[in-house]
């Protein structure tokens, strides 16, 4: 199948403005005749629901949390990128575009990425108008700090709570529309399927998480803004509730799933301490502005640190290896996340890791405290330092933090065109649940940028083009497709509830996570991926025989919720392995040991793999079909990525 990304022709800087002019419009009097379903109320979904309602559309918004403000966007810490050049340090829209293309290892679309950089400057103004309390410098102007993959300061922040503050801004805009009656909000409601009528998405099927009621909801279009699938690894920095179900059920209704193997491993996380954990904790990338990453130079020193015979502060300067500064002098500790993560793994693989497990490196603030003073460091990072202390009982002001990479973000997701529509007419994907902007690796502080760009500044324009085409005729909720899809959902729920084995769903999830991390994590090989394929297939078969799901549907039933999500993760895990197997190159977060430079960096194969892998569902237990969208680079020269 030929995938049409619908990228406008013409100069890069003019594509979006020309495209907006050529889009069909819905006049204000007609907007109130259209119903739009928005699933997810994080930054992308909340911004989209508020913006579309403000324009006059009738919006039905859904989230499985008890409040829209509990969306996982709230957990983002370090900041949001925008090409404002407030620091006068050489930033521009084009530089942000270029850094993002390069950071994604040349595996994203030029048109989408330039638009993202272009609208980034509007996002900050919008959020300031909403009252988001961004940090300010001494003259009262908004402050900026640096993040990985850039040599300029373009990251706007609100201490270490940027995601929370941005979400509160979107939430206030959403609440305004709820109060005005333009948004009907459905909380504690999980989407379990998409309703297709004559090849178009016309609604969804949901389960009320309080009563268990299975309901259908109509809409002229369906917008998914349901986040990423990092919890396929079980342990990740994602909230435990984060899942792939909405996107995966859309995939099984025909939406292509693109680049599922592109997973981001964040280098700055609190290390794993044991099987008792249900999630991991992220320490903001902003810490790498002032913290210095190091490991002992010798295995002997590392062993003493691991055994507690030596404290980090007792290691002499000449016995420390500041490996990122040594290997990447131009970027130092602010190399992109995939590069920093692989280098931390390299230290551990060389048996130079620290901590009781030996699976960690240090992030040291001694120099910053000496240079700036403890109060200045506390003003910048105090809440993050306190969070680290509460979790580890170690004081980062007096001893280095222990950090190690962990699964954080997923660059893959539902395939969308320039308008953010999937290949299924009327079905859109926004934010992390689409694949479009980050290529094989996301630069820090760009997730918030993409979510708000999609919700505030892209979908309000592009959705109207589709709606104007189909017209405002009401969607018939009594069409047989709605009842049939509802019956399909009920049958799946009954199948899950019939499982009366001996192994809990959480155990299956943990087993899947171990397989994914071992064979499809930071480093991948053909042999390991082939083994993983067999292990996941066997685990999935065992799940449907020996899992136990307690309780009934007509009640609050977390076991049933988890079972459905884990069943979807098991299927997604196989597809991720298939995607990683067919991509014989290394790029960004996808690192094949068979494809690396002599220096151990990711080695791309542009001749054979400069494409988006868009997978097409072919039926249960059938291999998926690979469709390719070839990536064309008109404005950026493909080079081996270097941060030295």
The catalytic site residues sit at 337
The span from the CA of 237 to the CA of 358, in Å, is 21
Token pair for residue 105?
A: 């290892």
What whole-number distance in Å separates Cα of residue 190 and Cα of residue 5?
Answer: 30
Q: Are 449 and 82 in contact (CB under 8 A)?
A: yes
Q: Which two tokens stand for residue 322?
A: 């500041």
d(CA 323, CA 318): 13
Which of 217, 235, 335, 233 is CA-nearest to residue 275?
Answer: 235
Q: How far apart are the first and last CA of the chain?
A: 40
Q: How far apart are CA 69 and CA 135, in angstroms?
A: 21
C-alpha to C-alpha distance for 350 and 237, rounded to whole angstroms: 26
CB-CB contact of 512 with 537 (8 Å): no
CA-based max dimension of the chain: 75
Phi, psi of 193 (to 5 degrees): -170, 160
CB atoms within 10 A of CB 168: 19
Residue 536 has which token pair? 């996941």
Q: Which residues pair with 404 in a beta bridge?
A: 269
Q: Give the CA count within 13 Å in the CB-facing half-sphere of 485.
A: 28
Distances (CA, A) of 201 to 32, 37, 45, 184: 19, 10, 17, 19
Which H or E run includes 462?
helix 459-470
Taking the C-alpha atoms of residue 194 and residue 246, their distance in angstroms, rounded to an integer, is 8
**Rg of the Cα atoms in the chain:** 24
Q: Which of 145, 116, 29, 59 is nearest to 463 (CA)?
A: 59
Q: Judging by DSSP bridges, how do beta strands 58-62 and 183-186 pair with one another?
A: parallel
Q: d(Cα 477, Cα 202) in Å, to the nearest integer?
A: 9
- The residue behind tokens 């299956």 is 508
**296 vs 319: CA distance, rounded Å:** 6
């Amino acid at each position: 199948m030929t995938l049409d990304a619908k990228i406008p022709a013409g100069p890069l800087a003019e594509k979006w403005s020309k495209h907006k002019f050529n889009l069909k419009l819905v006049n204000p009097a007609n907007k109130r005749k259209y119903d739009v379903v928005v699933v997810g109320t994080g930054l992308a979904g909340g911004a989209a629901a508020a913006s579309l309602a403000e324009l006059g559309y009738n919006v039905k918004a859904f989230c499985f949390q008890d409040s829209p403000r509990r969306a996982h966007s709230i957990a983002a810490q370090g900041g949001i990128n925008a090409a404002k050049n407030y620091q006068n340090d050489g930033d521009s829209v084009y530089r942000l575009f270029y850094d993002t293309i390069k950071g994604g290892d040349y595996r994203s679309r030029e048109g989408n990425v330039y638009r993202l950089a272009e609208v980034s400057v509007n996002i900050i103004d919008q959020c300031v108008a909403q009252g988001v309390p961004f940090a300010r410098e001494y003259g009262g102007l908004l402050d900026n700090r640096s993040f990985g993959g850039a040599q300029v300061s373009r990251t706007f922040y609100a201490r270490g709570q940027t995601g929370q503050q941005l979400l509160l801004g979107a939430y206030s805009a959403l609440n305004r529309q709820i109060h005005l009656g333009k948004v009907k909000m459905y909380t504690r409601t999980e989407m379990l399927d998409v309703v297709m009528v004559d090849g178009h998405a016309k609604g969804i099927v949901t389960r009320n998480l309080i009563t268990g009621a299975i309901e259908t909801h109509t809409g002229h279009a369906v917008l998914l803004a349901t986040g990423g699938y990092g919890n396929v690894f079980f342990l990740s920095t994602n909230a435990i509730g984060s899942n792939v179900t909405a996107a995966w059920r859309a995939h099984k209704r025909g939406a292509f799933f693109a680049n599922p193997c592109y997973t981001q491993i964040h280098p700055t996380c609190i290390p794993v301490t044991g099987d008792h954990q249900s999630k991991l904790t992220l320490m903001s990338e902003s810490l790498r502005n002032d913290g210095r990453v190091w490991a002992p130079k010798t295995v002997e020193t590392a062993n003493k640190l691991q055994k507690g015979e030596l404290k980090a502060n007792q290691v002499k300067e000449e016995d420390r290896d500041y490996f990122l500064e040594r290997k990447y002098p131009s970027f130092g500790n602010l190399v992109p996340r995939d590069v920093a993560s692989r280098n931390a793994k390299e230290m551990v693989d060389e048996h130079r890791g620290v901590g009781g497990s030996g699976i960690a490196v240090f992030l040291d603030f001694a120099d910053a405290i000496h240079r700036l003073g403890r109060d200045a460091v506390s003003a910048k990072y105090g809440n993050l330092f306190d969070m680290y202390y509460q979790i580890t009982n170690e004081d980062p002001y007096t001893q280095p933090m222990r950090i190690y990479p962990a699964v954080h973000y997923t660059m893959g997701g539902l395939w969308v065109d320039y308008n953010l529509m999937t290949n299924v007419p009327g079905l859109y994907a926004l934010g992390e649940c689409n694949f479009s902007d980050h290529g094989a690796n996301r630069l820090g502080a760009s997730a918030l940028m993409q979510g708000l760009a999609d919700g505030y500044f892209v979908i309000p324009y592009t959705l109207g083009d589709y709606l104007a085409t189909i017209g405002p005729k009401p969607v018939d909720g009594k069409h047989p497709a709605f009842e049939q899809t509802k019956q399909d959902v009920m049958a799946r729920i009954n199948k899950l509830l019939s499982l009366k084995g001996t192994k809990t769903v959480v155990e299956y999830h943990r087993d899947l996570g171990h397989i994914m991390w071992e064979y499809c994590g930071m480093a991948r090989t053909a042999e390991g991926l082939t083994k993983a394929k067999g292990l996941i297939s066997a685990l999935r078969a065992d799940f449907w025989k020996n899992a136990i799901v307690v309780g009934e549907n007509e009640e609050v039933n977390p076991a049933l919720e988890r079972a459905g999500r884990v069943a979807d993760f098991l299927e997604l895990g196989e597809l991720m392995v298939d995607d990683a197997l067919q991509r014989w190159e290394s790029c960004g977060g996808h690192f094949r040991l068979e494809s690396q430079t002599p220096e151990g960096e990711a080695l791309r194969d542009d001749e054979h793999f400069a494409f988006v892998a868009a997978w097409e569902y072919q039926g249960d237990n059938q291999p998926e079909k690979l469709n390719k969208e070839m990536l064309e680079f008109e404005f950026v020269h493909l080079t081996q990525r270097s941060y030295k």
